[in-house]
Chains A and B, each alone.
Chain A
Amino acid sequence: MGVKLAAMILAGGKGTRLLDLTRRVAKPAVSYGGKYRIIDFPLSNCANSGINNVGVLTQYESSELNSYVGNGEKWGLNGVRSLTSVLTPKQTEEGSNWYLGTADAIYQNLDWLDRVNPTHVLILSGDHIYSCTYNAMLKRHIDTDADCTISVYEVPIEEASRFGILVTDNKGIITDFVEKPKNPISNLASMGIYIFSYKRLRSALIKDHADPKSDHDFGKNIIPTMLKEKRRMVAYNYKGYWKDVGTVASLHTANMDLLMSGNPDENIYTVLAGNKIYSEDAHSAPQYIGKKAKVSDSLINQGATVLGEVKHSVISGGTLIEEGAVVVNSVVMNGAIIEKGAKVYDAIVGVDTLVGKDMVINKDKKDIVLFVNGKAAKK
């Protein structure tokens, strides 16, 4: 049998630091880039890599996310020899079980994986923004005869203590791994993207499940244990755009990265790196820019109606920016309405939010604010 790669996308996290954006919807379903939801990225990456068996593991506020993923049709993952499954916690003979950690989520779905019967399993996070294919990583995994390959990203050393940090030898074999170290000795951050040989992953998960002291987490338990057991662990150096948007400010920055100004080498086309990111089609009318509108340095989706001024901003579909309204350095999500005379500075305006007439959001322009359902979100 040849190589068969199945992907498991961990999409159960709450994303607490995104405040009100994730109060009623899981973080992977949060809107991004005027058109997308964050989970479009890993799912499109799978589609573009020719991975046809994808499990999406959801838990927190999952109904909107589950309906969105559906049978994978939006990403073309519903063809012959394809299977897209939303995998939620379930009742079994042993009782009902929430997912206790990332590793436990996969453990509880070993039956799904057994049916798919892959040679390798790709573990992904549902809330990272990056556009790539996993083919080169898989090749490295196979060429180096690895038990586990971890995708790594070079981060500035001063930020390294926020990540799981790896140490490698000169051949890229991982020699050490520390989760969020106080004094990092390397700047190679784990991206939370792993390829395992399925047999090895299966036995590691079963062993981890039996350990009552374990947190059942890949970063905290599975990876350190495999290293201790002297498994062959290999690093794969990822080059390109990659963002883990954990906070309102970082989600704002990731949106602004799509614009032309700022870093001249970075806009939506470099972020997408020549790949298509598939998403839901909103069946909206074309985007209309009005007679008195001013639009510059922005990214605007179909279905938006801009009659006012938009500068350095990302505007989703179904939005209305009325005449005399001003939106600067902001993200306006689906269905939001900015009424006459309103001014929005340095903000994220949430889905279906109304910014009333002459209202001014973030006058002081100190930090990025999140404005949802008529009020600024509390931190």
Chain B
Amino acid sequence: MKGVIGFIDCHISPELGVLTNDRPLASSSFLGRYAFIDFALSNYCNSDIDNVGILVKNHQRSILKHLGNMMSWVENTKIGHETIFYNEKGILNPAYNSDINNIKQNDWVIYDTDADYLVFMPVHIIMRIDLRPILEEHILNGEDITVVYKKIENADESFEGENLFDIGKDGYVKKIYKNKGKKKIANASLSTWIISRKVLSDIVNVYHGRVDASFGMKEMIAYLLDNNIYKVKAHEFTGFARCFNSLNKYVDYSFEMLDHKKALELFNTDWPIYTCTHDTTPALYGEKATVKNSFVSNGCIVEGRVEDSILCRNVKIGKKSVIKNSIVLSNVTVSDSVNLNYVIIDKYATIHPNRTLEGKEDDVLYVPQGGKI
């Protein structure tokens, strides 16, 4: 789609506890095959937006490694491209390392482009969203800002810390406030915004100077609304969306996908999720293997028992080992006769023979990257 730039905003990703200690959420693993950023990239790609800017907050190497030559998510490799936006100054001043300051550092996107519309999407909200009709509506009605929300019935236990919207009968946002878990039914922001280039230019050059310099887009949109500077149109999204904002949510939503019918809400052949290929072999199961209700990625060698679990690439499960309710990230070796229940094992870890590791449903045990137990 010409005239549109899609931003992927890594600045607003929450931490998922120990899992994101040393890596950004964007390149963290989901369901064995994917990195979180794949979902936003695929939403853009499937919505015919192939000019994508990735607003990187930190841990740039890990994101660049996943993106590779950045050709896995564009249709035409000459016309389409992904650009890394990186805020050098922001690294030295973490409090000011916001999406707006990042764009300020890379402000060619405001003057040296033919894109009149800019879309922002988060990494931490995984959804299957077609942006084309939303853009169409935004353009047709000449909106300044359109925000996308989902009506949820469990705001007391999901989308914590995200913004909620009160929406008027005219479809415009009346009030923006933070979800403090006080009510159940709410319009939760999906941190997905469409703004016109003129508006972005005004935000960067004018309005950002009037507020706290640490303000990001999320705070800025609330400021613009509160001060009647722009009207903010609300667009309801009714499809699949999950907000990942803690390690527990990561575990819950990962296991939720083991429900085959639920998984089909996210994975659909009409809406492929693209990721980079690693050319690993198919998964190999031994004669004594028993596997139930699990995702198993390519490169795995399973000789033991795996139930209600997720195995990422190149995981080895030894003979007589029993893995239950666990997430095993890539290149982990689980030796023979090991028992795991409610455990997350990070990449390249080794579990020696005859070990038993037991976490709890609401407090999973975590084995760090490269750990040897």
Q: Which residues of B contact A297 (CB under 8 A)?
A: 285-287, 289
Which residue of B has the minimal Cβ distance to A276?
B279
Q: Which residues of A contact B53 (CB under 8 A)?
A: none
CB of A328 closer than 8 Å to a CB of B: no
B297 with A287: CB separation less than 8 A: yes
B287 with A291: CB separation less than 8 A: no
A295 with B285: CB separation less than 8 A: yes
Contact of A301 among B263, B282, B289, B290 (CB under 8 A): B282
Give residues of chain A (251-290) contacting chain B, Cβ–Cβ below 8 Å: 258-261, 267-269, 272, 276-279, 281, 283-290
Given A286-B32, A286-B33, 6 new contacts (CB under 8 A) = A35-B282, A260-B284, A277-B279, A286-B295, A302-B283, A302-B298
Inter-chain CA distance A315–B31, complex, in Å, is 20
B33 with A302: CB separation less than 8 A: yes
List 24 A-B pairs, Cβ < 8 Å.
A34-B282, A258-B284, A260-B303, A261-B287, A276-B279, A277-B281, A279-B279, A286-B33, A287-B296, A287-B297, A289-B295, A289-B296, A292-B292, A293-B291, A295-B285, A295-B291, A296-B285, A299-B283, A299-B284, A300-B283, A300-B296, A301-B283, A305-B260, A314-B282
B281 with A295: CB separation less than 8 A: no
Contact of B290 among A284, A286, A294 (CB under 8 A): A294
A290 with B293: CB separation less than 8 A: yes
Q: Which residues of A contact B287 (CB under 8 A)?
A: 260-261, 296-297
Q: A279-B279, A300-B283, A305-B260 are in contact. Are A286 and B31 (CB under 8 A)?
A: yes
Give residues of chain B (246-300) contacting chain A, Cβ–Cβ below 8 Å: 258, 260, 263, 267, 272-275, 277, 279, 281-298
B285 with A298: CB separation less than 8 A: yes
Inter-chain CA distance A295–B291, complex, in Å, is 6
Q: Which residues of A contact B260 (CB under 8 A)?
A: 288, 290, 305, 307
Inter-chain CA distance A201–B275, complex, in Å, is 44
CB of A33 closer than 8 Å to a CB of B: yes
Prevailing SS type, chain B contact patch: loop
CB distance from B260 to the nearest CB of A (A): 6
Give residues of chain A (214-234) contacting chain B, Cβ–Cβ below 8 Å: none
Contact of B283 among A267, A285, A287 (CB under 8 A): A287
User: Which of B273, B288, B289 neighbours the largest number of chain A CB atoms within 10 Å of its CB?
Assistant: B289
Which residue of B has the minimal Cβ distance to A302?
B298
Contact of A289 among B33, B284, B293 (CB under 8 A): B293
Inter-chain CA distance A163–B298, complex, in Å, is 36
Q: Which residues of A contact B33 (CB under 8 A)?
A: 285-286, 302
User: Which of A34, A276, A286 neighbours the largest number of chain B CB atoms within 10 Å of its CB?
Assistant: A286
Q: Which residues of A contact B296 (CB under 8 A)?
A: 286-287, 289, 300
Interface size class on chain B is 20 to 34
Give residues of chain B (204-247) contacting chain A, Cβ–Cβ below 8 Å: none
B263 with A291: CB separation less than 8 A: no
Contact of B274 among A35, A261, A276, A283 (CB under 8 A): A283
CB distance from B368 to the nearest CB of A (A): 24
Q: Which residues of B contact A294 (CB under 8 A)?
A: 290
Q: A296-B287, A297-B285 are in contact. Are A286 and B292 (CB under 8 A)?
A: no
CB distance from B47 to the nearest CB of A (A): 16
Report B's interface with A, CB cutoff 8 A: 31-33, 258, 260, 263, 267, 272-275, 277, 279, 281-298, 303
Which residue of A has the minimal Cβ distance to B258?
A288
A281 with B277: CB separation less than 8 A: yes
A286 with B297: CB separation less than 8 A: yes
CB distance from A153 to the nearest CB of B (A): 24
Q: Which residues of B contact A277 (CB under 8 A)?
A: 279, 281
Contact of A302 among B263, B297, B303 (CB under 8 A): B297
Inter-chain CA distance A356–B358, complex, in Å, is 43
Inter-chain CA distance A375–B272, complex, in Å, is 31
Q: A286-B31, A287-B297, A302-B297 are in contact. Are A296 and B288 (CB under 8 A)?
A: yes
Contact of B292 among A258, A281, A283, A291 (CB under 8 A): A291
Inter-chain CA distance A277–B277, complex, in Å, is 12
Inter-chain CA distance A292–B288, complex, in Å, is 16
A35 with B281: CB separation less than 8 A: yes
What does the 1/0 interface line of A3-36 toward B look like (CB < 8 Å)? Answer: 0000000000000000000000000000001110
CB distance from B129 to the nearest CB of A (A): 17
A288 with B295: CB separation less than 8 A: yes
Which residue of B has the minimal Cβ distance to A316?
B282
Which residue of A has the minimal Cβ distance to B287?
A297
Contact of A291 among B277, B279, B289, B293 (CB under 8 A): B293
Which residue of A has the minimal Cβ distance to B283?
A300
B284 with A290: CB separation less than 8 A: no
Q: Which residues of B contact A278 (CB under 8 A)?
A: 279
Inter-chain CA distance A290–B295, complex, in Å, is 9
CB distance from B287 to the nearest CB of A (A): 4
Q: Which residues of A contact B288 (CB under 8 A)?
A: 296
A268 with B281: CB separation less than 8 A: yes
Q: Which residues of A contact B263 (CB under 8 A)?
A: 285, 288
Inter-chain CA distance A103–B188, complex, in Å, is 68
Q: Which residues of B contact A279 (CB under 8 A)?
A: 279
Inter-chain CA distance A315–B298, complex, in Å, is 12
Which residue of B has the minimal Cβ distance to A280?
B277
Which residue of B has the minimal Cβ distance to A259?
B284
A289 with B277: CB separation less than 8 A: no
Q: A283-B272, A285-B273 are in contact. Are A300 and B282 (CB under 8 A)?
A: yes
Inter-chain CA distance A300–B33, complex, in Å, is 15
Contact of A293 among B277, B292, B298 (CB under 8 A): B292
Q: Which residues of A contact B295 (CB under 8 A)?
A: 286-289
Q: Which residues of B contact A289 (CB under 8 A)?
A: 291-296
